[in-house]
């Protein structure tokens, strides 16, 4: 793992990825932030040594380096998922690379279903805590102690100060920003009525298929981490209707301007 990380990091440095301060992972339907960036360098995932390749048709596959709000940023335009057949080490490998390049803060976005029925589709949810239901951990491998503390503390995985700043920005810009618990499941199938009921009992406010592995690794590497969900559908088990993935992507796109505002305004303060 250390050999792969070194090889990949050196490749990107040679490509001009010069000490980024902030890493950003863009979720489903949330790619328009790229239009706000002064792009200096970009590399397709399939050209980066040891990098996985995004296989989901609506996820791009580029690592982008540039300037956003006067800060050096590195952005994953498209992320990886366990449901694509990747291991959790594959899914989180880019976070380890971004940390080696120099980031001190990781911003994550995703599309999620609203378990809390007080939340409506098209709104945003600031993740305060999470439940890992993916069946394993990205830290469960031999030699992990050479990269960070094996028994990583997760009492506060999402940075409280940055979350408070997100809330201030949302209030200033009249953006509805809920706070809640995100449950991360393996997927790719959507949940049954019984599973939605279970998630509600467990205390989840939203459910998705990503984010938690990356947050765990960010904490392992002592990077500040935060995440925001776009709520793309309402998961009412008593009135459950079929949801098309195209509908989810459309709803994410409608909510995207608010997400972009949050991220841009936040980055000014970091």
Q: Is the predicted pLDDT of residue 57 greater than 90, yes or no?
A: no
Residues near 102 by beta carbon (within 8 Å), at least 6 away in sequence: 19, 20, 21
Q: What is the pTM assigned to this prediction?
A: 0.94
Q: How far is Cα 241 from Cα 238, in angstroms, rounded to an integer?
A: 9
Predicted local distance difference test score (pLDDT) of residue 195: 98
Q: Is the predicted pLDDT of residue 60 greater than 60, yes or no?
A: yes
**Residue 5: band (very low, low, confident or very high) from pLDDT cuts 50, 70, 90:** very high
Q: Transcribe 143-155 into DSSP letters.
A: TGGGTS-SS---S
Q: How far is Cα 21 from Cα 188, in angstroms, rounded to an integer?
A: 32
Span 216-228, mean pLDDT?
A: 98
Span 192-219, mean pLDDT?
A: 98
Hey, where are the domains in the chain? 2-269
Q: Is the predicted pLDDT of residue 154 greater than 70, yes or no?
A: yes
Closest CA to 16 of 50, 67, 83, 92: 67
User: Percent of the chain beyond pLDDT 70?
Assistant: 97
Residues near 45 by beta carbon (within 8 Å), at least 6 away in sequence: 51, 52, 53, 54, 61, 62, 63, 78
**Residue 243: band (very low, low, confident or very high) from pLDDT cuts 50, 70, 90:** confident
Fold assignment, 2-269: Rossmann fold (3.40.50)
User: Percent of the chain beyond pLDDT 90?
Assistant: 87
């Amino acid at each position: 793992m250390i050999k792969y990380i070194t090889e990949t990091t050196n490749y990107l440095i040679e490509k001009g990825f010069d000490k980024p301060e902030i890493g950003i992972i863009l979720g489903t339907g949330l790619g328009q932030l790229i239009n706000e960036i002064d792009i200096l360098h970009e590399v397709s995932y399939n050209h980066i040594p040891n990098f996985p390749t995004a296989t989901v048709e609506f996820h791009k596959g580029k690592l982008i380096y540039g300037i956003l709000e006067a800060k050096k940023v590195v952005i994953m335009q498209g992320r990886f998922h366990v449901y694509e057949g990747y291991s959790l080490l594959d899914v989180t490998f880019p976070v380890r690379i971004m940390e080696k390049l120099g980031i001190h803060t990781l911003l994550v976005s995703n599309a999620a279903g609203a378990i809390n029925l007080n939340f409506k589709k098209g709104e945003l949810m600031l993740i305060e805590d999470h439940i890992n239901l993916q069946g394993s951990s990205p830290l469960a491998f031999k030699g992990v102690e050479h990269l960070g503390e094996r028994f990583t503390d997760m009492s506060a995985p999402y940075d409280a100060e940055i979350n408070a700043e997100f809330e201030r920005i949302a209030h200033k810009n009249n953006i509805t920003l809920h706070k809640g618990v995100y449950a991360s499941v393996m997927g790719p199938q959507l949940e049954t009525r019984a599973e939605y009921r279970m998630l509600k009992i467990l205390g989840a406010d939203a459910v998705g298929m990503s984010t938690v592995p990356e947050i765990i690794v960010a904490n392992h590497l002592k990077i500040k981490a935060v995440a925001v969900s776009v709520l793309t559908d309402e998961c009412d088990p008593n009135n459950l209707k079929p949801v098309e993935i195209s509908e989810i992507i459309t709803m994410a796109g409608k909510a995207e301007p608010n997400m972009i505002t949050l991220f841009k305004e936040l980055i000014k303060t970091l």
